[in-house]
Amino acid sequence: MPDQWPQRHLRRGINCDLGESYGRLRVGHDDEVMQYLSTANIACGYHGGDPSTMRRAADSAVTHGVLCGAHPSLPDLQGFGRRRLDVAPAELTDMVLYQLGALQAVLTAAGTTMSHVKPHGVLYSMLWEPELAHAFADAVEILDPGLPWIAMKNTPTFEIARQRGLNPVDEFTADREYTPDGKLVITRNPEPVDIAEMSDRMRDVVSSGTTSANDGSTRLHFDATVVCMHSDGPNAPEVAAALWSILTEDGQRPWEGGDRT
């Protein structure tokens, strides 16, 4: 595990999916949100992130002092990695290794190393299936058994990573709703985030470690080390600024790398 990881997350840091443009298709508000981040999940080519986009994202993250992680997905450019595909466990291991290796080379060129991994889109929820979680874990273990793996605590994914001696890191995704069984609500075309509602959820998690699912009554528990968001939302810059404001309300910064005021 990189030495910087614990120090950079003494408080909850903001983590964001980015580098998801592909060719002439522009996706996300990477430049606008980067200033608020402590860690970034960079797309690795399967749902977004052509080689030049990956390189630009890595260079920008390094410039801003943001740690760079991999954001592997299923091979689904047209569906942006949000459509389930039927893959065998061995295939999944190879797909993840391929993507991690590609980003690792890009990060070497940018003068940095891979700080963590976080699966993208539908793959994230597919890893609740033990067989697929083990397949993903096989890829992480081959590359670097100590690599932090961002996942939701108290899920099969998190427990399998922990049982195998890997390094799961718990998260709360602030700009998405959760179902009563704790799964993220994934939409093909994200609408603008309601900043007031998101802020209420975030303050709930900060103050009590719980927040409501999208049924309005089920309470979900989070002991989140990182707070995740998405750069491709229509109002992602406003989301990032609001999260930053909430996470610094007590006068303590979630990011240890410099002055962001």
Q: What is the pLDDT of residues 102-119, one digit of tens each?
A: 999 999 999 999 999 999
Q: What is the pLDDT of residues 55-66, one digit of tens each?
A: 999 999 999 999
pTM score, whole prediction: 0.90
| pLDDT more than 90, % of the chain | 74
User: Domain 13-248 falls in which CATH fold?
Assistant: TIM Barrel (3.20.20)
* pLDDT confidence of residue 216: 85
* pLDDT confidence of residue 184: 82
Q: Taking each helix axis from N to C terminus, what angle separates 236-247 and 195-208, rounded to the nearest 10 degrees?
A: 30
* pLDDT confidence of residue 137: 98
Q: Assess contact for 149 and 140: CB atoms under 8 A.
A: yes
* pLDDT confidence of residue 250: 64
Answer yes or no: is pLDDT of 12 > 90: no
Cβ atoms < 10 Å from Cβ of 186: 14
* pLDDT confidence of residue 19: 96
From the centroid of its chain, how far is CA 116? 9
* pLDDT confidence of residue 69: 97
Locate tokens 């899920």: which residue? Answer: 155
* pLDDT confidence of residue 190: 75
Q: Assess contact for 106 and 55: CB atoms under 8 A.
A: yes
Q: What is the pLDDT of residues 45-58, one digit of tens each?
A: 999 999 999 999 99
Do the strands 210-212 and 219-221 form a parallel or antiparallel pair, or are they unpaired?
antiparallel
Q: Can you tell me whether residue 186 is helix, strand or coil?
A: coil
Where does the pLDDT of residue 7 fall: very low under 50, low under 70, confident under 90, or very high at 90 and above?
very low
Could you state, in order of their start, the residue ranges of all structural domains in the chain?
Answer: 13-248
Tell me the Cα Rg of the chain. Answer: 17
